[in-house]
């Protein structure tokens, strides 16, 4: 572990992703983001977790934020 906060950022809008990363980095300087834009990326990200924090948009083109959080919790219950 490198001491950084590993964040999974799930959002299909590039402008929103950039805004979230900028604002989170203002408060927490030791962050590493893994961005997810579709269901294929999300499946890969689930396998490479666990994540210190998951940030997701509620309305995605391929799912919704509640489903994303539930799937992450099933895969990484701790």
Q: Three-state DSSP class for 7? A: strand
pLDDT for res 53: 95
Q: Is the pLDDT of residue 2 over 70?
A: no
Domain ranges of the chain: 5-75
pLDDT tens per residue across span 12-71 = 999 999 999 999 999 988 999 999 999 999 999 999 989 999 999 999 999 999 999 999
pLDDT for res 70: 96
Q: Residues of 5-40 as b/e, b for ≥16 C-beta within 10 angstroms?
A: ebbbbbbbeeeebeebbeebeeeeeebebbbbbeee
pLDDT for res 3: 75
Fold for the domain defined by 5-75 = Rossmann fold (3.40.50)
Q: Are 55 and 9 in contact (CB under 8 A)?
A: yes
């Amino acid at each position: 572990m490198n001491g950084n906060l590993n964040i999974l950022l799930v959002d299909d809008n590039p402008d929103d992703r950039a805004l979230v990363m900028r604002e989170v980095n203002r408060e927490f300087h030791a962050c590493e983001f893994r961005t997810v834009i579709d269901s294929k990326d999300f499946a890969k990200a689930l396998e490479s977790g666990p994540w210190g924090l998951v940030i997701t948009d509620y309305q995605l083109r391929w799912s919704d934020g509640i489903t994303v959080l539930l799937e992450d919790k099933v895969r990484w219950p701790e």
